[in-house]
Structure 1
Amino acid sequence: MSNSNSLRQDVILELEFLQSLGSKIFLYPFTGRSKIKMVGYFIVYVLVLCTAVQLGLTLFSYNTKDWLEIINVAPNLGVVIMTAIKYTKMQTHKALYEDIFKHFHDDVWDIVAIDSIAHQNIVKKYKQITRIINRFLFYYSIPLTIVVDSFPYLVMVYENTVHGVTDEYLYPFDGWYPFDKVKWYFVAYIWESFMTAIVVCVYCFSNMIHASCIGFICMELKILGNCLEEIISQDDVVKITKGRNVDIIHKTVLKKLKIIIVKHDFLAKRSAKLDAVLGDAMLLNYSLGAVFICLTAFTFTVVDNLYKSVRYFFMFMSLLVEIFNQCLIGQILSDHSENLTETIYYSNWLYASPEVKKIMLMLIARTQKPFKLTANGYLTMNMNTLGSICSTSFQLFNLLRTIYL
């Protein structure tokens, strides 16, 4: 009993950790926010939009022959646009996130058996996986922000001190300004450092929220699978074959099955809504991901400037990690929902009542249409999609090297 309560408390603490982080960027509580929080949300939203416009103007201000500069700006613009989309979607669908958090805070524990070692192990495993992912993204965002904000200035100081270069000014994302950004260098640098920190925070937090939602949905699917597998125990089979308490057992099994179906229906609907929320960003990632990965990979292999090589390399790695993350969580979600079909088939359904058998057949039909994350319905985000993106990027990379070299 105490172990079960401890596991529940661990999951609740993880949810509260996310809620605490969300409040820092004015996204939590998801509903019922104070006026101050809403003002903070709109300020951050306007700042992100201003940065997107600034990078857009930067992109159009370059000559089309300055392809290296275009490659420098385009991925940054893509990241800022996706950040704006994610930030807006989380606000627009705040009731969905509130519903999901409330479900995993309170409602999911109705099906977690207190005396089940299997259930305890499932909760422990998925809580640990979610915690590891969240801590990785959290602690990854801190050095990432520090490096992106400080690296240009440190390189500029080094070039000035060691090589005597005094006419090179470096910035975190080198945006366009309606004033002389060399004269107002520190103003421009502080602005770009501040906006880089905001974009990284929003981007990483949204990834943490979505990874946690998918992780806990998979946890509940696993628990439902275990409940289906054990819905007719071996003791029940013995009693049914001997004709003892048959009606009571069938009624109990039917009651359990209805609860499982209600839980599965909840997860199916919330997964579909999450797919709709994430669809725009995933479509943008898929549409531009292969091109940006190719361009940044090609650029850091051909430029002879150390600063630019390092900059483009980290852009390349960040783009690859983001696409890998989206494809991976999509694959995991689909796999867990598909596994329910097998679980039902290998349960002791032969000993169930005719009514239960019919319901199980309908449930099998429903589970054969797995949960999935898609790019607005155009394609499914899974490891096959990742392979397709990487293959396209590699082909474009080889084409560029052939033309350029």
Structure 2
Amino acid sequence: MDMIIIYVGVCLGLYYLYWAAHLQFNVNPDELMRYLLPKYIYKHNSLPSGYTKEVIYHLGNWSYAFYPQWLGSIVSMVFMKLVAIFSTSSQILIFGARLTSVLFGVITSIFVGLSLKELTNDKLIVVAGMSLMGLLPQFTYLSSYVNNDIIAVAGVAIIFYASLVATKKNWNIKNASLLAIGMIICLLGYMNSYGFVLAGGSYFLFSVISQVRQGLLSSKKAGILFAIIACLVVSCVVPFLVRNYLLYNGDFLGMSTFRSEYQSWLSDGGQVLQHPYLNNHRGVELMFDSEFWELTWHSSIGIFGYFTVVLKPIYYTYYLLMLFSGGIGVLLNRRKDIVFLDTTLKWSMIVGSMVTFVLFLYYTLKVDTQPQGRYIMSIAPFLMIIVTLGLFRLVESISKHHRLCFGMLVLIYVLLNGVILICYVQPGLM
């Protein structure tokens, strides 16, 4: 790994640590509800059931312990044990739990940088891509408090990098194992990223068959690689699914049990907490619901707290122009680095993004109307790689001093994140 990638990763990590150390507790979406799980594991050295009183939220009979996504909670428990060596105050333990988000935020940016290095071998583009990814305000925020969204984003970044390397150097034990790790992180991180597990697995099958047919890979080695991925994923994920099956009457994912407990809450006279879009609207109306899509867009860029800290419109316009300019650059410059060297990989990532979006729509229509950009944040690694490449090619096509101009654009982007932290997040949430 290049030192520049390590250096930028460390800088981002230190920045996230500042946020993690200063954000108030329980003013961030679902943080208290998420924190109950690592807190329990830290205290009892065992995984709780969703019926365990200590991990049930005070509203809705809700408990994230019903779901088999335990990776974040287990890693947070480890960090809590480590910081407890110095202090067991509640504030320090919460900071320890937040270190998981810091870690996975840095991992995401590093693998975005590694992907851009494979595509361009240009240090400026690598630094730019890591900055555009790591300093998107909402991503920075997710990298600083207890949540599962950031874990899934990291898994997607790893899946993409492993697949990209395989297009250039063929599949081998190293990148196949890395692909499996990315899939495991997604599967045990957050359900919203499952589309990319499907995309990564499908790409592996299609590409490995192609490499065998071209004589680049033997059938025996292909079988070994498939077995490695299958064994790693099964051995890490299936135990949690089996645990769910045994605890919740065959409910592998815990979704039905979670819903059943909420219905019990309502039957006992509890207030209605979830509002499916279809309860009050027709499904087709969602596509034209400008307020919903505006909130989704804004919260993808940066809305903090429980939708209490909103940026001025000019900020959202700026980020829209950045994304739009990157898209224009892609369309105008059909270079190999932008089409990712392999059409199948490009379309597998597009399909993964589409599945993520469909899951978001399904949740909105059938479960609860939540125009929160964090639910589709797993699209960001693929998107920001495209934007970085497109933006560079656009600047290159219009300026003789394109590297200087591109560097200045990225610097403004970096500084703007700091402005948002000082002017919006600090007064509202610190």
Structure 2 length normalisation: TM-score?
0.28
Q: Which has the higher contact order (CA 8 A, sep 6+)?
A: 2
Q: Which has the higher helix share?
A: 1
